[in-house]
Amino acid sequence: MARCCGCSVRCCCWLLLLTLVALAVTATVVFIRYRNGGQVFPLPGVPDPKYAEALAVALQFFQVQKSGKLVNNEIPWRGDSALDDGKEAKLDLSKGMYDAGDHMKFGFTLAFTGTMLSWSVLEYGGAMGAAKQRDAAMDALGWMMDFLINAHPSDDVLYIQVGDPKADHKCWERPETMSEKRPLTKITTKAPGSDVAAETAAAMAAASLVYKHINGTYSSSLLDHAERLFAFADKHRGSYTRTFPELSAYYNSTTYQDELLWAASWLYHATGNRSYLSYATGKNGKEYGDLGNPRYFSWDDKRAGTEVLLSRVSFFASDGSDVAQDEGLGSYKDTADAVMCILLPESDTAAFRTEGGLLYVAEWNSLQHPVASAFLAAVYSDYMSASGKTELTCSGKSFRAADLRKFAKSQADYVLGDNPMKLSYLVGYGDSYPQRVHHRGASIPADVDTGCNGQEWLKTPKPNPNVATGALVGGPFKNDSFIDDRENVRQNEATTYNSALIVGLLSGLASTSSVAQSLS
Ligand SMILES: *[C@@H]1O[C@H](CO)[C@@H](O)[C@H](O)[C@H]1NC(C)=O
Ligand SMILES: *[C@@H]1O[C@H](CO)[C@@H](O)[C@H](O)[C@H]1NC(C)=O
Ligand SMILES: *[C@@H]1O[C@H](CO)[C@@H](O)[C@H](O)[C@H]1NC(C)=O
Ligand SMILES: *[C@@H]1O[C@H](CO)[C@@H](O)[C@H](O)[C@H]1NC(C)=O
């Protein structure tokens, strides 16, 4: 019998074939690396044009919300604004984004927006790229990170707010013509805000991973800020809305411990430094994590997000490794499972949903919880598929990754118009969407300078002259109804962080996706 490389001819052919396949795979990977500018984002699967189209719409809201001197602005009714923000402290705080229909820059929600947008790019940057939307996401992310870097001028000082919410909310005007004072609020060792400092650390750590293979200098700078901010947050403890009680009327932070755990988890992913993991899984996790109790993820409560983010480590850890044995980490994973169980409509612990099928947690900005939950479900289902650990057990019943993805899709479909109102809650998507979004800039014609007193544009029943494309409005009542009235803030105001959540969800659904095993 003829021998070749120590085995039979048939074997030799197989070897040759395998070598060719290996070469082809290597070439493809090299090509993709090249195409992505060095960053290996997870490979996109089969595209889904519906969600890709909605993603392109959703991302535009970040352009609508930009403060500062605009670059390549494509929103015809937007222009430069707030150019002097930060000047009183000799800082450039002109960038960043307005929080909602107002012109406040609230650091707590702005940072959360940055964390969520980063997470979305990290898991689904490949799908975003295939939909030609990654540049838009990166542009928005950079605009927020430039602001956060400038807002942290020294170790224990972080500017957490630009504008006075009372003065701001009294005015109805375009950002381009606003004239009221823009005071700054900062946290220090004597005026702590562990929640906002830790959320900012989380945002910068997550963004540092996004930029790691794209812009190493920028990535290192973000990571350096993140580590120093986390140390500040941990050492000088307190909640920013206890330090500044007048701010509790806006984004009241219920506790700060959840942000500390969340930031430590992001820092672990960004640095690989085990001390951050131990911070979250050790004593702090036991004391503050409320592990075992499933909760909803939101700008105020980061626990469900932390559980999913840390379960990433469990899913992809090799059996027998140190982390695979970490008991604390196991508790996070078990709690993440429990979160998924309340989301699955067929599980015994399923949470309430409306007749139209929307997960319903709170009336004010009702879409934030279902959209955030659906994002987590999409991510979790992809962790399950990509790790081969495809079964989830909820009180004895078994579920699969596909069940979670089905839930995620059901919530996205509801948002996009598959609901009793037949209304798309994503402005600019579909034929029918809210026309009177509570949004100062969208409601006033671009050539009108109202000063502070443009209230006639708030009160008019006419539709907005400008479309706030990409705005995800608050959403329906518990009975699936919705009133498209500009003064109906609980239902009809758009927020920038809502957009980060829907961007994450839509990018997760924009293709059949498989997430990467490692974020770095
Ligand atoms: C990296 O980011 C910084 C800050 O945005 C920018 O000034 C610089 O040009 C970027 N470098 C590269 C190589 O893209
Ligand atoms: C803010 O949260 C704290 C802590 O949960 C609570 O005691 C306080 O009543 C809340 N304030 C407002 C205005 O909701
Ligand atoms: C890990 O992080 C901790 C806390 O910031 C720090 O003290 C330690 O030096 C870091 N370890 C390494 C190996 O970088
Ligand atoms: C739906 O609920 C809202 C808020 O509770 C209520 O004002 C409205 O009348 C209800 N609509 C219907 C059709 O029941």
Reported confidence tier of residue 37, pLDDT bands at 50, 70, 90:
very low
Q: With respect to residue 451, please indicate whether it lies within any of the assigned structural domains.
A: yes
Q: Is 228 strand, coil or helix?
A: helix
Could you give the percent of the chain with pLDDT greater than 70? 92
Interval 9-35 mean pLDDT: 55
Which of 445, 432, 446, 519 is closest to 482 using CA atoms?
Answer: 432
Residues 402-439: tens digit of each pLDDT = 999 999 999 999 999 999 999 999 999 999 999 999 99
Query: What total of structural domains would you count in the chain?
Result: 1
H helix intervals, 131-256 = 134-150, 165-170, 194-211, 216-235, 240-243
Ligand 4 pocket test, pick from 419, 421, 481, 484 with the greatest ligand atom count within 8 Å of Cβ, gives: 481
Could you tell me if 77 and 441 are in contact, meaning their C-beta atoms sit under 8 angstroms apart? yes
Q: With respect to residue 27, please indicate whether it lies within any of the assigned structural domains.
A: no
248 lines ligand 3 (CB under 6 A): no
Q: Which residues line ligand 2 (CB under 6 A)?
A: 241, 248-249, 252, 254
**91: phi then psi, degrees, rounded to nearest 5:** -120, 155
Q: Which residues line ligand 1 (CB under 6 A)?
A: 142, 215, 217-218
Q: What is the DSSP letter of 160?
A: E
The pLDDT value recorded for residue 3 is 45
Interval 291-297 mean pLDDT: 96
Give the atom of ligand 3 at the shortest distance from the alpha carbon of 274. 1
Strands 158-162 and 7-8: unpaired
Q: Which range is least confidently modeled, 16-20, 154-158, 223-227, 304-308?
A: 16-20
**397: phi then psi, degrees, rounded to nearest 5:** -90, 145
Residues 460-471: tens digit of each pLDDT = 999 999 999 999
The pLDDT value recorded for residue 344 is 98
- Which numbered ligand comes closest to the C-alpha of 421? 4
Q: With respect to residue 516, please indicate whether it lies within any of the assigned structural domains.
A: no
Interval 166-192 mean pLDDT: 96
Name which residue sits closest to atom 12 of ligand 3, judged by CA.
273
Whether residue 321 is predicted with pLDDT greater than 60 in this model: the reply is yes
**398: phi then psi, degrees, rounded to nearest 5:** -105, 135
Which of 103, 106, 78 is closest to 173 using CA atoms?
Answer: 103
**220: phi then psi, degrees, rounded to nearest 5:** -65, -40
The pLDDT value recorded for residue 319 is 84
Q: With respect to residue 26, please indicate whether it lies within any of the assigned structural domains.
A: no
Length of the chain: 520
Q: With respect to residue 488, please indicate whether it lies within any of the assigned structural domains.
A: yes
Reported confidence tier of residue 325, pLDDT bands at 50, 70, 90:
confident
| CA atoms of 383 and 377, how far apart (whole Å) | 10
Q: With respect to residue 353, please indicate whether it lies within any of the assigned structural domains.
A: yes
Tokens of 80: 């430069």
Tokens of 320: 């027998």
Which of 425, 498, 375 is closest to 110 using CA atoms?
Answer: 498
Interval 152-177 mean pLDDT: 97
The pLDDT value recorded for residue 4 is 45
273 lines ligand 3 (CB under 6 A): yes
Whether residue 1 is predicted with pLDDT greater than 50 in this model: the reply is no
| CA atoms of 466 and 459, how far apart (whole Å) | 16
Domain housing 458: 32-508
The pLDDT value recorded for residue 519 is 87
- Known active-site residue 438: yes
Beta-carbon neighbour count of residue 316 at 10 Å? 18
Name which residue sits closest to atom 7 of ligand 4, judged by CA.
477
CATH number, domain of 170, equals 1.50.10.10
Tokens of 4: 């070749």
Q: With respect to residue 39, please indicate whether it lies within any of the assigned structural domains.
A: yes
Q: With respect to residue 12, please indicate whether it lies within any of the assigned structural domains.
A: no
The pLDDT value recorded for residue 393 is 97
The pLDDT value recorded for residue 62 is 98
- Which numbered ligand comes closest to the C-alpha of 364? 4
- pTM strictly above 0.85: yes
Whether residue 34 is predicted with pLDDT greater than 60 in this model: the reply is no
Could you tell me if 468 and 440 are in contact, meaning their C-beta atoms sit under 8 angstroms apart? no
235 lines ligand 3 (CB under 6 A): no
| CA atoms of 205 and 224, how far apart (whole Å) | 9
